[in-house]
A and B are shown apart, each in its own frame.
Chain A
Amino acid sequence: MTYIAKPKISLPNLPKNELGLTTRDYEGAVSTLCAGCGHDSVTAALIQAVFELDIEPHMLAKMSGIGCSSKTPAYFVSEAHGFNSVHGRMPSVTTGANAANRDMTYIGVSGDGDSLSIGVGQFVHAIRRNLNMCYLIENNGVYGLTKGQFSASADIGTKPKKGLPNQQEPIDPASAALALGATYIARSFSGDKEQLIPLIKGAIMHSGFSLVDIISPCVTFNDHEGSTKSYAHTREFYRHVANIDYIHPTEEIRVSYDEGEALPIHLRGGDTIVLRKVDRDYDPTSRADAFKHLRDRFNAGEITTGLLYVNEDRAEMHELMHNIDTPLSRLPYEGLHPGNDELQKLQSRYR
């Protein structure tokens, strides 16, 4: 951690977004995480992503549970709303918030412990509901905050700093989300912002549940030799299969993409992403293909990254429930409250 905050220096040539803000305006408090923690790089990517998407800070809600990763919301967009909930309960709290105000952008930042151990039930059901949120897992294979116990994403055979190697099957959040029907699934690495930032932007603009599983090394408890979530191991074994570019609404899609190399995907919300395949045979719109590929490459010891699966055909929670477009939070009291007569009628049915 650092005691000195990153000084605000107003550089004349710092780029501004459509709102006239710079990346500095999207920063948060100074990080108290360990120096070199992958989570801080993810924060930097998040800041860049929301800046480039011209998100109005007051229309953003940052949601989290407990863990080093779950502290992330404190470190970006100070002007936004934030909720640091109970361990593993972020998905439910976000469901409630989203139910009340569907107009806001929801970014949940969680950890492998927070999402795959104590909160796995919550994680699963948020996906089932196709809750419209961007869900980031800063995945380091350990409970960083409680000093490095293995989490449910630790690989078999991976070595702890002290003690015996892990013997239990890992949960791969991407495969799990695929099985559960998530509609936008990506994986990346904290040390690869070029790939990560567009993936986060796509995840934010995707309508429905989007998961970005980010390998984010715990430099203090899981960055040694024998760890499969270290910087060195990740660099050695990670492979891009399909990257994306987010197309800003003011940009034209100028490039004519070669078939099989890059294809524009129109998101339900009206935005466009362009898929750039690295592995020509990989088809991120096929759930079966994606599943098989992930398993095969996982068994081969590789870390598959990029946009792994995308499905723009499925409706998100509000659409599924046929809710009105106006956020409930903005309906007048009369619109929300059925009135005494209606309530009496309703109650009489249960008498």
Chain B
Amino acid sequence: MKPTDTSNPEYFHKVVDCQWGCPAHTDVPSYIRMIAQGQFSDAYMENRKSNVFPGILGRVCDRPCEPACRRGRVEDKPVAICRLKRVAADHRDDITERLPKAPEKTNGKKIALLGAGCASLTVANDLAPMGYEVTIFEALDTTGGLMRTNIPSFRLPPAVLDEEIGYILDMGVDLKLGHRINSMKDLLDEGFDAVFVGTGAPKGKNLEIPGRYDSDRIHIGIEWLESVAFEHIKEIGKKVLIIGVGNTAMDCCRTSLRLGADDVKVMARKPRGFFKASEWELEDAEEENVEILVNHSPKEFVYEDGKLVGMKFDLMEYNIEENGRIDRGTSTGEVVIPCDDVVLAIGQDNAFPWIERDLGIEFDKWDCPVVNETTMMCTRDGIFFGGDSAFGPKNIIWAVEHGHQAAISIHKYCHGEDLHDRLPMGLNLSTQKMGMHEWSYSNDYDGVSRQLVPHVGLKERFKKLNIEVELGFSAEQAAEEVERCLNCDIQTVFTESLCIECDACLDICPVNCLTITPNGEEQDIRARLKAPALNPDQALYVSGALPHTARVMVKDEDICVHCGLCAERCPTGAWDMQKSTILVPYAADEAASDQPQAATGGAAK
């Protein structure tokens, strides 16, 4: 194999599994260390730099970082990254002074942002401090988009939304509430320099089976949740069926319990393992005694005397193929399950009835706009999409990342620059050695297991709709949990010219991830390492020829616990522990980069 090119920022970035897994590249290990040292405000600001809404995301993020977390491969449970984010938010001091502010003079460029959801808000967050005149048009009388209308208040209190959205609006954003855009054409006539569409995927999927329209007790999940959020709906029948088993279904069933239902069943068409809902959302629902019935395929609504009394399902049987794929299934019988209300939670669609089709904005066969994944621009210059409106429903953190990228593009567009000529990511490395056996970070492996977030009691929590169920970690729990982080950004960096091949590092490594071996092809090397490298998703770090024997040092990055013992045992300093800082460029960096080439990692913010 060729020696690993560690000058490419991507290599060390990928070693930081959580940061790599995070669409917005949040520097997780850095903020966890800040929490460990009690620097909650710093940890909050570190988060805000990339993910903009730490208090919100610390509660409801989809957390792709956690399944990616290395700790989950060393033991079974990843670090509670998301809940630690909330710790930073809960314990921060007043940080308003540290927030970016709009300059006294604007740059004269007018940007229209459609929708006041997280995508548009991120664009505003990035552009307003640069002097852009930002106007947000929002159809509803309130901000936040689905975060407010659909994510129930028992998971995400409105006060948290108000505060973090307020930070952005206070940067001098012109917010026009109750202002639905009904014609893109008309908007374009208003002479904005660029338009960002962050209107989400607002259409709940319907279920076209017999009896669908014969009752007003059949609800579409996201519309129903919105009505609950706005207190237009305050109650529901005793027996409720939720159709679908995604995250929306979990919010619907838990909301039903708070509106008076006492028998809530989530009806899944497929078996467990094929559910769309995240593991933790399922857990939270089941903790509240929601029943999940598998292999029930909806057939028709059942009425008695014109009143909805139940639903008929096909009982399904499936073959699961060896590759884990499931077939379409066959019906083995029918069953009627009684109910008073039904909530359909089977997905969302995009809908753009207000975009005229003759504006040069191309739509694909699913009626979604054709959007460039890098620039977020559609086929008409100067119009950008982001969040759920761009590629269909995803989640908040993706919407935020889209917002960052769109902000970069908008800046470039307004300055007549090539949208594709974007700043690359940068990399800083700095040694963490402080002395003989001293490292700047807590390098000793701590075997403590994942802390459980305390919840409000099962009786107490149903008393009101907006009682937040999760209480957040106590100080003691946070102190334990931070020690579980393996500091994957403290990289093992190797200098082959110094190695005397004494084997000290190989012998001390607690997870056998180092080997000195003759060079060869990757597949061959993977098989003959001290511990075979079985995870192809994780890189091998391969040195050049070692001075004494011309063999190579190979490190399997997979389960390195970044304990630094290799560096500590190395007599020559051939291994060193160095912190990698991935410099992620934002719009402000693009603006500052007219002279320097590299990103400063959001220094301007």
Contacts and interface: CB of A to CB of B under 8 A. Distances in A.
B483 to A, nearest CB: 12
B447 A9 contact: yes
Q: Chain A contact residues: over half helix, strand or loop, or mixed?
A: loop
A50 B297 CA distance: 59
Given A4-B443, A6-B508, A9-B447, A193 B503 contact: yes
B565 A35 contact: no
Contacts of A7: 444-445, 447, 510, 561, 563
Nearest to B438: A3
A235 B503 contact: no
Contacts of A37: 502, 504
Contacts of B531: 11, 13
B500 A231 contact: yes
B161 interface: no
Given A2-B437, A2-B568, A232-B548, A11 B511 contact: yes
Nearest to B500: A231
Nearest to B530: A193
Interface stretch (B94-102, B179-187, B387-395, B569-577): B569-577
A34 B436 CA distance: 12
Interface in B507-531: 507-508, 510-511, 531
A41 B447 contact: no
A52 interface: no
Contacts of A217: 502
B500 A223 contact: yes
Given A8-B447, A35-B570, A36-B572, A2 B508 contact: yes
A293 B370 CA distance: 79
Interface in B257-292: none
B226 interface: no
B559 A11 contact: yes
Given A9-B74, A9-B510, A36-B569, A231 B501 contact: yes
A231 B437 contact: no
A40 B503 CA distance: 9
A40 B507 contact: yes
Given A3-B437, A35-B569, A9 B501 contact: no
Nearest to B507: A44
Contacts of B500: 36, 219, 223, 231-232
B559 A191 contact: no
A198 interface: no
A84 interface: no
A115 interface: no
Contacts of A223: 500
A153 interface: no
A217 B74 CA distance: 34
Nearest to B502: A36
| Residue in B503, B508, B570 with the greatest tally of chain A CB atoms within 10 Å | B503
Interface in A33-76: 34-38, 40-41, 43-44
A339 to B, nearest CB: 54
B549 interface: yes
Interface size class of A (residues with CB under 8 A): 20 to 34
| Residue in A11, A34, A190 with the greatest tally of chain B CB atoms within 10 Å | A11
Nearest to A2: B568
Interface size class of B (residues with CB under 8 A): 20 to 34
Contacts, number: 84
Contacts of A235: 501, 548-549
Interface in B549-591: 549, 559, 561, 563, 565, 568-572
Interface in B426-478: 437, 443-445, 447
Interface string A1-36: 111101111010100000000000000000000111
A217 B503 CA distance: 12
A1 B568 CA distance: 8
Given A7-B563, A9-B74, A9-B561, A35 B507 contact: no
A155 to B, nearest CB: 20
A41 B549 contact: no
Nearest to A24: B510
A62 B505 CA distance: 25
B515 to A, nearest CB: 11
B571 A35 contact: yes
| Residue in B531, B548, B569 with the greatest tally of chain A CB atoms within 10 Å | B569
A231 B548 contact: yes
B292 to A, nearest CB: 29
Contacts of B506: 44
A202 B74 CA distance: 35
Interface in B1-52: none
Interface in A234-272: 235
Nearest to A47: B507
B510 A34 contact: no
| Residue in A9, A13, A235 with the greatest tally of chain B CB atoms within 10 Å | A9
Contact of B568 (A13, A35, A38, A191): A35
Contacts of B570: 35-36
A231 B571 CA distance: 12
B569 A2 contact: yes
Contact of A34 (B443, B444, B571): B571
A193 B502 CA distance: 11
Contacts of B502: 36-38, 41, 190-191, 217, 219, 231
A8 B75 CA distance: 12
A223 B501 CA distance: 12
A2 B565 CA distance: 8
B568 A4 contact: yes
A321 to B, nearest CB: 40
Given A7-B444, A8-B447, A9-B445, A35 B504 contact: yes
Contacts of B568: 2, 4, 35
A318 B74 CA distance: 49
Nearest to A15: B531
Contacts of A4: 437, 443-444, 563, 565, 568
Interface string A215-229: 001010001000000
A41 B504 contact: yes
| Residue in B437, B445, B504, B563 with the greatest tally of chain A CB atoms within 10 Å | B504
Nearest to A3: B437
Given A2-B565, A35-B504, 13 more contacts: A1-B437, A8-B447, A9-B74, A9-B445, A9-B510, A11-B511, A36-B500, A44-B506, A217-B502, A232-B500, A232-B548, A235-B501, A235-B548
Interface of B: 74, 437, 443-445, 447, 500-504, 506-508, 510-511, 531, 534, 548-549, 559, 561, 563, 565, 568-572
The 6 closest A-B pairs by CB, nearest first: A36-B571, A7-B445, A44-B507, A36-B502, A41-B503, A35-B571
Interface of A: 1-4, 6-9, 11, 13, 34-38, 40-41, 43-44, 190-191, 193, 217, 219, 223, 231-232, 235
16 contacts: A4-B565, A6-B565, A7-B447, A9-B510, A9-B561, A11-B511, A35-B569, A35-B571, A36-B500, A43-B507, A44-B507, A191-B501, A191-B503, A231-B500, A231-B501, A231-B502
